[in-house]
Amino acid sequence: MLDPIFPGMDPFIENQRWPEFHEAMIIYLRDKLVRLLMPNYVVFAEKYIQLSRPDISLWKGRLEEAEPLEQSHLKIAEATRLHTATLSDEEEQSRIEIFDTTGKLITVIEIISPANKTRNRSEYLKSRRRILLSDAHLIEIDLTRKGRRIEADLPEEGYNIFIARAQTDGPHYGEMYEIGLRDALPVIPLPLDTGDIPLDLPSLFKQAYINGGYRLYLDYSRPPAVPFSESDAAWVAQRLKEANV
């Protein structure tokens, strides 16, 4: 069986296969959005070296000539915290940018890499601030444990997802999903100009994990990028024992 060993993110991917995993998540997300949004949206996938350039752009189509969007049965998870956000070195980075047909930026999705929180942190924060000072939405998906959290008051253990919604009469409104090492990944809202659609992170992760053969090729005897707490180390050891890896 090639199914994931852990209920959510696999912590051993980060320091062994992160660049490949990151790229797979971007590609599978693009494929998912094509199925959900075409013909109302057109999906483009491109690579850029600069952090500020997009990997994927979505352009709003003419709704009067299109079929209604596919309705999803997925239930969006509830954020565990809500608050108001008042919010290099050249290296290949990936992100998703969503525009309307006038060229206006609607939503940015970042899958945070360890470099965003370490050596390229300053440049990333500058790019992030430009978004938070604009009228575009921002989604940050942080599935890495190494480096300082982008939001400083977050716990170091586990992962997090931050959704900053642009407001017409004030600063962005933030929704924070805190995800423990033992937690499943949530289905989260993807804000567009026409409303939210569900973004199914569990299925995207499972697709990337299985197709990447991570259960076969990850070395689970190697230390993780960040040491586990004593209780988490015992839990991880039990999961690996049950999986016979």
Please list the pLDDT of the chain residue by residue as tens digits (245 residues): 799 999 999 999 999 999 999 999 988 988 888 788 777 766 666 554 434 344 444 444 333 343 444 445 566 677 666 554 444 445 667 788 888 777 788 888 999 999 888 888 888 899 899 999 999 999 999 999 998 888 766 666 689 999 999 998 889 999 999 999 999 999 999 999 889 999 999 999 999 999 999 999 999 999 999 999 999 999 999 999 999 98
11 within some domain:
no
Burial of 172 (C-beta count, 10 Å sphere; 0-12/13-18/19+)? buried
Sheet with 159-167: list strands edge to edge.
41-45, 56-60, 95-99, 105-112, 137-142, 159-167, 170-179, 81-84
239 within some domain:
no
**This prediction's pTM:** 0.83
189 within some domain:
yes
210 within some domain:
no
140 within some domain:
yes
81 within some domain:
yes
224 contacts 13 by C-beta, under 8 angstroms: no
> Residue 185 belongs to what domain range?
18-200
Q: Which of 135, 134, 189 is nearest to 161 (CA)?
A: 189
5 within some domain:
no
User: How do 159-167 and 81-84 pair as beta strands?
Assistant: unpaired
User: What is the rounded distance in angstroms from the CA atom of residue 31 to the CA atom of residue 185?
Assistant: 19
State the DSSP code for 143: -
Domain count, the chain: 1
The tokens describing 135, both together, are 């009228």
